[in-house]
Amino acid sequence: MAEKAVEDVSTMNFEDDLPLLVAENGERNEPDEDSEAKDGTELTMSPNDIYTEDSLVAIGNEERITISLTRAVVSCAIEGDLAMLQKLLHPSAVDRSDLKHGITPLVAAVRGGRTEIVRHLIRQVKADVNVKCTQGVTALMECMRSRQWFSVETARVLIDEGKADLDATDKKDGRTALMILTSMWRPMAKQGTCRVETQKAKLLADANADVLARSHAGLWALDVAREKNARPIERILCARIETMMLHCLRRDVEPLAMLHESILQAIILR
């Protein structure tokens, strides 16, 4: 198979990435040629900054190329083109979210089901598994949304090799990966899909994910499991809570009072 040619970045079209900047008088604002702001201060941006119209005015050509390359890298990650990704990806941009999709290369690889690229980004490029993309989710949270079998192995890689933060929460709803997974349950879904979600729930529970974490709405993962009638996940969560209760009894009875009434009821009825 013929190898893809690497596109000359000097000829790349940036219009898909950069918004048209129009001043109040209707004239287009072109970015400065250098990388300094108009007041002479140095422009500093972290890899995960969201580029607003105001900040884009001060971005020079080098930064524009970096933005476009990030878009190309994200596309390679989604499509599974490891060879091209290796050519285009610079380590300093591995945790940057692109403007078009709002996701990092690692989240893109997870979304595309490219476990081999996930491994490459973690092992070789040292991607930060816990970085939140501009959509507000980590790679592990994105993995919990998938109903495909490969997502179980991807989750295992993120947890075992990437040391993913199991209890990180998304920006919008304050949900952990376990809550997101549970919310994806569909009672009428195919049995195979349910097994995928059950496998990932067990993986998270065995890795000591916090089953008592609350979302912004004040819900536990068990609340969501009962609402969705996700009995297999509910059993996994109850088993984990029982283990926690035994540890509490060995140390102090008082923490048991913190358990939600629905959790205790679920354990009793189990």
Give the domain CATH number at 234: 1.25.40.20
Asked if the structure places residue 24 within a domain, the reply is no
Q: Do 184 and 247 lie in a common domain?
A: yes
- Encoding tokens for residue 71? 């878009």
Residue 258: both structure tokens together: 């913190």
* Residue type, position 94, single letter: V
Q: Considering 137, 152, 184, which residue would you say is the last residue of a domain?
A: 137
Q: What is the reported pLDDT for 69?
A: 73
How far apart CA 47 and CA 52 sit, in angstroms, is: 14
Are residues 106 and 187 located together in one domain of the fold? no
Does 170 lie in the same domain as 115?
A: no
Range of the domain at 211: 166-269
Whether 224 maps to a domain, the answer reads: yes
Cβ of 114: how many Cβ atoms within 10 Å? 23
Same domain, yes or no, for 113 and 184? no
Let me know whether 129 and 223 are in one domain.
no
pLDDT at residue 177 in the model: 97
Domain membership of residue 158 (yes or no) is no
Residue scoring higher pLDDT (265 or 91): 91
Q: Is residue 71 part of a domain?
A: yes
Categorize the per-residue pLDDT at 257 as very low, low, confident or very high, splitting at 50, 70 and 90. Answer: low
Does 13 map to a domain?
A: no
Give the Cβ contact number of residue 61 at 10 Å. Answer: 15
Residues 132 and 170 grouped into a single domain: no
Q: Please check whether residue 172 is in contact with residue 136, taking contact to mean a CB–CB distance below 8 angstroms.
A: yes
Q: What pLDDT band is residue 43 in, cutting at 50, 70 and 90?
A: very low
Asked if residue 9 belongs to a domain, the reply is no
Per-residue pLDDT band for 102 (boundaries 50, 70, 90) equals confident
Q: Which positions ≥6 away from 127 have C-beta within 8 Å?
A: 94, 95, 104, 105, 106, 121, 162
Determine the residue type at 254.
Answer: E
Same domain, 115 and 174: no
Quick one: pLDDT at residue 266? 57
Taking alpha carbons only, the member of 167, 180, 171 closest to residue 224 is: 180
User: Within this chain, do residues 262 and 172 fall inside the same structural domain, yes or no?
Assistant: yes
**pLDDT of the residue at 135:** 87
pLDDT number for residue 44 = 35
Residue 98 or 159, more confident: 159
203 and 120 assigned to the same domain: no
What distance in Å separates the CA atoms of residue 268 and residue 270, rounded to the nearest whole number?
Answer: 6
Q: How many domains does the chain have?
A: 2
Kindly state whether residue 25 falls inside one of the protein's structural domains: no
Residue bearing the bigger pLDDT, 118 or 13: 118
Task: Identify the pLDDT of residue 137.
Answer: 95
Q: Does 118 share its domain with 181?
A: no
In terms of Cα–Cα distance, which of 50, 105, 116, 34 is closest to 75? Answer: 105
Place of tokens 């971005």: 59
**Which of 137, 155, 185 is the C-terminal boundary of a domain?**
137
Residue of 226, 242, 243 lying closest to 234 (CA atoms): 226
Across the range 81-99, mean pLDDT stands at 86
Mean pLDDT of 17-46: 34
85 part of a folded domain: yes
Assess whether 189 and 264 both reside in one domain.
yes
pLDDT tier, 42 (very low <50, low <70, confident <90, very high otherwise) = very low
Residue 1: exposed, middle, or buried by beta-carbon count in 10 A (0-12, 13-18, 19+)?
Answer: exposed
Q: Among 8-17, 106-115, 127-136, whose mean pLDDT is lowest?
A: 8-17
What integer best gives the mean pLDDT of the chain? 75
Reply yes or no on whether the pLDDT at 264 is more than 70. Answer: no
Q: Is the dihedral of CA 169, 172, 173, 177 positive or negative?
A: negative
pTM of this prediction?
A: 0.70
Banded model confidence at residue 22, pLDDT cuts 50, 70, 90: very low
pLDDT band at 53 (very low <50, low <70, confident <90, very high): very low
Torsion over CA: 159, 155, 144, 73 (sign): positive
- Least confident range of 66-70, 157-161, 206-210: 66-70
**Same-domain status, 175 and 125:** no
Looking at residue 123, its pLDDT comes to 94
